[in-house]
Structure 1
Amino acid sequence: MKNTGDAIHVALTFDDAFWAPAYATMRSVCVATDRKADLVFHLLNLGLTPAHRKDLDAISEEFGATLVYHPLEGTDLLGERISRLPAVKTRRLHNIVYARLFIQHLLPADAERVIYLDCDVIVRTPIEHLAEMDMAGRTIAAVQQPERFKQAGGRDLREFKAISMARPYFNAGVMLIDLARYRQVDIVGVLLDRVPADQIGRLYYDQDIINIVFADDIFELDSRWNLQNPETSHEAFNPLIVHYSGSIKPWALKPNVAYARTYRHTMTNKLFYRYWRYRVVRATKRAFGLA
């Protein structure tokens, strides 16, 4: 693993079902920069099969980037550490979303910064421009959630005492993290101090937690660094990072989203169609109770 000041650390979290989107995200980072050999991808993964890991290894073979696998089975990252946090019960999400809260325990001590990326993201600009950005002394840099009122207030915009709708609310799918500052924060401890026990269940998982724990400590990035739920008309904004945060994902066979063809070619046609078939088989097995 690179331990020099030239390394650009990027972290992703995913389970085996999202190996191909993780590949596409990493490949987009590599394609968009001339500093490919400086890239160090930290892959916080769960249940990754040898065959899918081989697909991911192709990133190193094609671009010379470094891949560091962090298998989470058998660690306390998704065990006791999150036992007091709301259990993730939706089909779209998994308890692995909490792993990003604790990446400081997995990355090397000499890593000063890390860029966290969701796996439904493609990068369209040199990632070092984000990695080396002035954070104005804040711990995290992120983009506001466009629908922050709904995200913070839920149905009927009912105020959640721990999250004020009068304050900025940030999306956690793209973040630049100052690890030296981040390591000093007891995230679960601060959360439990700030949120009454009877309100913990209202949290929108890790994203609410980040907004509560790091309130007033998040540097706001321009929205082009995390263009969320992008439609084709949004291509006119020339986004730097595209985040398919809505329900329609670019790995659908005919997705009506921005840069759909670019996404397919980034994943590569071969893997794109193999992943599509994988998802069809998986959905069929679920429908008949076989998975």
Structure 2
Amino acid sequence: MTARFHIALTFDDNFWAPAYATMRSVCLFAHRREALVFHLCHRTLTPEHRADIERITSEFPVTLHWYDLDQSEMFRDIAARMPENKRLSNIVYARLMLDRLVGPAVERILYLDCDMLVRDDIGYLFELDLGDKAIAAVRDTIGAFITGGRDLKRNRDIFDPADYYFNAGLVLIDVAKWREADIIGQMEQAYATGVMQRIYYDQDLLNLIFKDQWLKLDWRWNTIDARHAHEGLDPAILHYTGENKPWGIFAGMLQSVAYARLYRHVMTNELFYRFARHRWKQWWKKRLRLGR
């Protein structure tokens, strides 16, 4: 039995509350809570919001490790040079550095996006036999469109639509094999040859690096674009990849996503409504800037 369950999240200050909700959902549905170790790769995080996240240790016997990416010369260099993800920011590149952040003692780590709700025991994933595979993940339901774009013709010299493509919102990682893959080195090479400028950021890169080297998990461990209909299928992890999120500031946003009410209570009502006020302020600031 695995002694510790190492889980990594990456987020900036705009996602502190969803990060907390993902972490708390892991805790609520895990049986061995004392085995949970969260590796929190963050940037621009205010002391107030860090304190919000640290409150989880008063409810559950978990361990937190913090990594301030603003103090990482490697991350700053990568974030400045690589193609910018305008929707998610260049925090997406942080997961590529996990092997360099967590150290040699961590043998297996589960990466989770912060727009996820866990409702099953993640201990199951840590007991999986990966065989000779470097990672385990779930096939992306729209992988061919992500790589191929309109008419599925873009980047056909890089990707074959017949190949399975995984969603990188959940990745179970054999750290030694991840380290052997030299992901940062391969990213530098892809940038030098112009490939990074053409592909969908780090997710495409990981699919190129680990082609045929990933174990396909059942869909329920990363239920992509989680909608109401999924509730009847007993998903293990909901992934809110669509435009509507369970923390949406407009009522209509909540009506189409799965387990919206459960999500609010997992985040806790106090933090949910405080995060809603935070997002309202951000929304109005953006509107006022556009109106100038």
- Range of TM-score over shorter length: over 0.9
Contact 1:162 1:194 in 2 (8 A): no
Q: Which residues in structure 2 correspond to 1:102-251 (within 5 Å)?
A: 102-160=97-155, 161-191=157-187, 197-251=193-247
Name the SS of the counterpart of 1:177 in structure 2: strand
**Aligned residue in 2 for 1:279:** 279
C-alpha distance in 2 between matches for 1:238 and 1:125: 9
Question: After superposition, what is the alpha-carbon deviation per residue over 1:168-201, rounded to whole angstroms, capped at 9, x for unaligned?
Answer: 1100001100001111121143345568724431
Query: Is 193-202 or 204-213 further displaced after alignment?
Result: 193-202
| Count of residue correspondences | 285
Inter-partner Cα distance in structure 1 for 2:259 and 2:97: 32
Identity %: 45
In the TM superposition, residue 282 of structure 1 has moved relative to its aligned partner by 1.2
> 1:20 aligned to 2:17?
yes
Amino acid at match of 2:286: R
Cα deviations across residues 97-134 of structure 1 (Å, max 9, x unaligned)? 00001111111311110000000001111111012211
Name the amino acid aligned to 1:182.
W
Q: Is the 8 A contact 1:142 1:218 kept in 2?
A: yes
Structure 2 SS opposite 1:59: helix
Change in 2 beyond 3 A, CA 1:246/1:180: same
Is 9-18 or 103-112 further displaced after alignment?
103-112
**Structure 1 residues without counterparts, runs of 5 or longer:** none
Partners of 1:223 and 1:79 in 2: how far apart? 34
How far does the alpha carbon of each residue in 1:141-186 deviate from its partner, in whole angstroms, 9 at most, with x for none? 0001101111110122114122211101100001100001111121
Q: Which amino acid aligns with 1:169?
A: Y
- 1:249-264 to structure 2, matched below 5 A, reads 249-253=245-249, 254=251, 255=254, 256-264=256-264
SS at match of 1:201: coil
CA RMSD of aligned residues (A): 1.8
Task: Find 2:60's aligned residue among 56, 60, 63.
Answer: 63
Q: 1:7 aligns with which of 1, 4, 12?
A: 4
1:162·1:195 contact (CA, 8 Å) conserved in 2? no
Provide Cα deviations, 1:77-97, integer angstroms capped at 9, x if missing partner. 323345553222x2x210010
Letter in 2 for 1:289: R
SS in structure 2 of the partner of residue 87 of structure 1: coil
The DSSP-based 3-state class of the residue aligned with 1:12 is: strand
- Give the TM-score of the pair, scaled to structure 2: 0.93
Structure 2 counterpart SS, 1:106: helix
Q: Runs of 5+ in structure 2 lacking a partner?
A: none
Q: Distance in 2 between matches of 1:195 and 1:220?
A: 28
SS of the residue 1:24 aligns to: helix
5 Å matches for 1:38-57?
Answer: 38-57=35-54
Deviation at 1:289, TM superposition (A): 2.9
The answer to which structure has the higher helix fraction is: 2
Change (3 A) 1:191 1:106: closer
| Cα distance per residue 1:182-236 (max 9 Å; x no partner) | 1112114334556872443111011001001111111110101100101101111
Return the letter of the residue paired with 1:155.
Answer: R
